[in-house]
Amino acid sequence: MKKKKSELINILQELDDKRAFLHFGYTSLFQYAVTSLKLSEGQAYALISISRKSREVPELKEAISQGTLNSSQAKKNKTKDCICDYARE
């Protein structure tokens, strides 16, 4: 499951970077995630937030893929120091 979530974060990040959701007829990444990927609004918001934050804090994505940080923890702990602490565990 953690691998799938990590892959989904990567996909959302790439779609966001390239604004590819526009190509599919959506006005926002959030709309794409909810409508096309069938994520709940809460899931979409959390995963998009994490994908955007992981640009600034690459350790975030690494900690999620390794399973030392889950998406709920990542959503609550958005500071680099806090995320790095999880990544070191």
Q: Residue length, the chain? A: 89
Q: Which residue's structure tokens are 């609004």?
A: 41
* Token pair of 6 as six digits: 């990590």
What pLDDT does 66 receive?
78
What pLDDT does 77 receive?
56
Cα pseudo-dihedral 18, 21, 25, 30, rounded to 10: -140
CA–CA dist 66, 78 (Å, integer)? 17
Contacts of 10 (CB under 8 A, 6+ apart): 51, 61
pTM for the model stands at 0.77
Q: What is the pLDDT along the chain (89 residues), one digit of tens a residue?
A: 567 888 999 999 999 999 999 999 999 999 999 999 999 999 999 899 989 988 888 887 777 777 777 666 666 655 445 544 544 44
Spatial CA neighbour of 7 closest among 68, 49, 51: 51
